[in-house]
Amino acid sequence: MSTEDWDVYDRNCPTRRLLDRIGDRWTVLIVGTLDRGPLRFGEIARRIDGISQKMLTQTLRGLERDGLVIRTLYPQVPPRVEYELSPAGRTLQEPLRALEAWAESHMSDVLESRELYDRSASGACGPVRSRA
């Protein structure tokens, strides 16, 4: 299929599930962590504060299934497994780094907006701004 055949705005298009995958916070953090090269499961877990073993396992499996991560098993005792970004996974690094940078540089503005919203008398509708 050509690029024109995919439509993320169509609810039945598989690109929607791919957007779910690459827009997931754990995917963003795992891709950022694997930016440094191949890592073992425990190393990834230590670098991503707050990720559970279950979520790390599920996310790595999903990324492997989608061809974004390569899992390498080394036949030794005990077995050693490493994860690294595939060539397709490496193409995600730049846009996801931009997303991380945006979140960090705009967090103060977002917190201020949340505070204004939460303090507003109307609450559910947020602050009213006139358009003059």
pLDDT per residue as tens digits for the range 39-93:
999 999 999 999 999 999 999 999 999 999 999 999 999 889 999 999 999 999 9
Range in 26-40, 53-67, 115-129 the model is least confident about: 115-129
Answer with the residue of higher pLDDT: 119 or 40: 40
Percent of the chain exceeding pLDDT 70 equals 88
Percent of the chain with pLDDT over 90: 80
Is the predicted pLDDT of residue 5 greater than 90, yes or no?
Answer: no
pLDDT of residue 130 exceeding 70? no
Q: What is the per-residue pLDDT for 73?
A: 95
Give the model's pLDDT for residue 129: 62
pLDDT, mean over the chain? 90
Phi, psi of 85 (to 5 degrees): -70, 140
Q: Reduced to 3 states, what is the DSSP secondary structure of residue 23?
A: helix
Work out the average pLDDT over 19-36: 94
Residue 40 parent element (H or E): strand 39-40
Q: Which residue has 């299934």 as its token pair? A: 65
- Structural fold of domain 3-121: Arc Repressor Mutant, subunit A (1.10.10)
Full-model pTM: 0.82
